[in-house]
């Protein structure tokens, strides 16, 4: 197990989650959420961020995927916050990512301030059996627990699957840029703390 691996176990009346996260990993992934589309998005997040991510979630999917998506966002945010040492990081990261006809910007500030600005435009109500409004719920939970500022902005695009996929890939790559180390112990803030 890598030195910066964090394990999170969270059990509620709605979900039972075991999550392992390595911030500076190799993109290894083992994802089982009970929702194929969410599995796909978390796989992309791991691969494109270079994070090692294992998620096992048993949720109340007979209701819908809301609690599953939100609670995984909570656990991933907690794991990120625990895995990160801000000394020597770039702090900021951004990427504009194309996905076929779609173009999405993700910009990250590892600031200690939990802010999400989210705009993927109009989307179909579902991709498969996944409610697309849950994408924002996932990122809201992740941002609140990770302590980052995250902007996700659609420039243009038509296909809902492509918009969401571009958002996950771009966010992962922007985070990877923001946490890249420069070999110093410098805290990237004029205040001296984040």
Question: What are the φ/ψ torsions at residue 169 (nearest 5 degrees)?
Answer: -65, -45
In terms of residue numbers, what domain contains 96? 5-178
| Residue 121 located in a structural domain | yes
Query: Does residue 183 belong to any structural domain of this protein?
Result: no
Residue 59 pLDDT: 97
Q: What are phi and psi of 23, to 5 degrees?
A: -65, -45
What are the average pLDDT values for consecutive 10-residue runs of the chain, which has 194 residues? 83 98 98 98 98 98 97 98 96 98 98 97 97 98 98 98 98 98 90 86
Nearest-angstrom CA–CA distance, 22 and 113: 22
Is 145 inside a domain boundary?
yes
Torsion angles phi and psi, residue 5, rounded to 5: -85, 135
Q: Is residue 123 part of a domain?
A: yes
| 23 C-beta neighbours (distance < 10 Å), count | 22
Residue 186: inside a domain: no
The structure tokens listed for 192 are 């001296």
Indicate the length of the chain as a whole number.
194
CATH number, residue 90: 3.30.230.40
Strand pairing partners for 84? none
Q: What number of H helices and E strands is found in the chain? A: 4, 10
pLDDT at 2: 53
**pLDDT at position 42, please?**
98
How many structural domains comprise the chain? Answer: 1
pTM of the shown model: 0.96
Task: Establish if 115 belongs to a structural domain.
Answer: yes
């Amino acid at each position: 197990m890598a030195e910066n691996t964090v394990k999170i176990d969270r059990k509620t009346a709605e979900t039972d989650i075991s999550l392992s996260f390595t911030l500076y990993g190799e993109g290894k992934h083992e994802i089982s959420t009970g929702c194929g589309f969410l599995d796909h998005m978390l796989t992309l997040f791991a691969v494109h961020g270079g994070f090692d991510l294992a998620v096992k979630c048993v949720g109340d999917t007979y209701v819908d995927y809301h609690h599953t998506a939100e609670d995984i966002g909570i656990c991933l945010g907690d794991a990120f916050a625990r895995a990160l040492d801000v000394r020597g990081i770039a702090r900021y990261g951004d990427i504009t990512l194309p996905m076929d006809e779609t173009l999405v910007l993700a910009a990250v500030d590892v600031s200690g301030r939990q802010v999400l600005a989210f705009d993927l435009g109009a989307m179909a109500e579902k991709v498969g059996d996944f409610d697309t409004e849950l994408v924002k719920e996932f990122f809201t939970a992740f941002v609140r627990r990770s302590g980052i500022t995250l902007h996700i902005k659609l420039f243009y695009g038509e296909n809902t699957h492509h918009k969401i996929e571009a958002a996950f890939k771009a966010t992962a790559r922007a985070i990877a840029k923001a946490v890249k180390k420069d070999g110093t112990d410098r805290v990237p803030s004029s205040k001296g703390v984040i």
